[in-house]
Amino acid sequence: MSETLDVVAVGIGPFNLALAALADDMPELRFAAYDAKPRFDWHPGVLFDWATVQVSFLADLVSLVRPTSRWSFLSYLADRDRMYQFYVAERFHLPRREYADYCGWAAERLPSTHFGVEVTALDWNPEHRLWTVRLRDSARERTVEARHVVLGVGTRPVLPAPLRAIRGDRVIHSASYLSTADGWGGDVRHVAVVGSGQSGAEVFLDLLRRQRERGWAVSWLTRTAGFAPLDYTKLVLEYTTPEYMHYFHRLEPAVRDRLIGTQWQLYKGIDSETIDAIHGELYHRLIDDTLPPVRLYPATTIADATRDSDGIELSCTHADTGSSGKLRADAVVAATGYAAEPPALLDPVRSLIDWDEQGRYRIDAQHRIRTAPVVSGGLYVQNAELHTHGAAAPDLGIGAYRSATILNAVTGREAFRLPKRTAFQTFGGVR
């Protein structure tokens, strides 16, 4: 007989880790989370010593819903005996390595998290009215049954089509930057960075700081009109609150898609501290003409890319002038973002899922994927609903709220009291 659980979480990133942390306060809930990785791992390719998380430390796993939880960031500090150092530091934005260590601390201690266990397939059992979850670890394959499933498999690195065809150890996504760049030899004399979000800016800054040691020239290309900042002004940040998320979900799909295209600076821009650090590095180079050249190319798109024995050639076009040119490099780092893709484990139930015209999940206000009427169990998703819930979807600040919303939905009660007003603005106009 298979074990029967109330909730199975697939993937253990920060969002499903928040779900596990909140579920730990519900001893009556049979809950388990699985991840194929051997341990918690969060963006190791850009885990720079100096980088910070772009949201407040209150955007931890639980605090915005249950600040008294033993899984809060402050509880982590107390356990690590760092409370007074944090108090004196007066930090609002955490070092990224500290945030990753905090999540690892929780993941190691939560009894419901299981690493080294891959979820290989999900199926619906109409007779039992349960999900069948197929698991595989180093020892065996087995199944468990679940009333509800929460997908938190994360997003996949995206390479532009011209670079996709020549990917390799010299053409990489920023997701593997740190583990790959350290292995580049002395024949890498010119590195090109493509993409001007936070990851692209941090990779560019790291390359600048290594330039004296490694001697490489650096070019930075972006198709946007400029190297734009993250919009971190207070009223704009309300667009990442639950209140705006609910408003956004009620809009027509065409309107939502249009808005997402205009709101990219809410989650794709560069924080001002990183921009200032980059400018400082560039300024200091003005008095040192021995360093290889550094060039920044805004409004520049890669139309084609080829690779030969002499390196990589990027064919570029300029958005304003329409001109074209070629840039040769020895290595390319594409900081070109991530996309939510339905995982292969859903293949057995694809016909039971309600897909929109663009092949995306249709998702209700409680983050439940719409399925065929025969499916009575809930199939929920975390961080794959940018198109239905807006710019808050990838934001760490929504993690605790969304997880609490899902747990309230699966239990059919208000297990967690959610805030009723989260913004000063009234979205939707005067009525």
Domain ranges of the chain: 5-155+340-411, 157-230+268-334
Q: Sheet of 300-308: strands edge to edge?
A: 300-308, 311-318, 324-329
Percentage of the chain beyond pLDDT 90 is 93
Burial 320-329 (b: 16+ CB within 10 A, else e): eeeeeeebeb
Q: What pLDDT was estimated at residue 425?
A: 95
Question: Cα separation of 151 and 252, whole Å?
Answer: 25
Q: What pLDDT was estimated at residue 289?
A: 83
- Phi and psi for 150 in degrees, rounded to 5? -120, 120
Is 157-230+268-334 assigned to CATH 3.50.50.60?
A: yes
Q: What pLDDT was estimated at residue 23?
A: 98
Burial 87-120 (b: 16+ CB within 10 A, else e): eeeeeebbbbbbbbebbbbbbeebebbebebbbe
Question: Cα separation of 253 and 1, whole Å?
Answer: 43
Domain 157-230+268-334 in the same topology as domain 5-155+340-411: yes
Six-digit token pair at 307?
């690779």
Question: Cα separation of 219 and 207, whole Å?
Answer: 10
The architecture in CATH of the region 5-155+340-411 reads 3-Layer(bba) Sandwich (3.50)
Nearest to 346 by CA among 155, 151, 158, 156: 151
Q: What pLDDT was estimated at residue 217?
A: 97
Q: What pLDDT was estimated at residue 269?
A: 87
Which residues of the chain have a pLDDT value below 70?
Answer: 1
pTM for the model stands at 0.95
Q: What pLDDT was estimated at residue 38?
A: 96
CA dihedral 344, 47, 138, 143 (to 10 degrees): -40
Please tell me whether residue 42 adopts helix, strand or coil conformation: coil
Question: Cα separation of 413 and 428, whole Å?
Answer: 28
Q: DSSP class of residue 401? A: H
**Residue positions counted in the chain:** 431
Q: DSSP class of residue 61? A: S
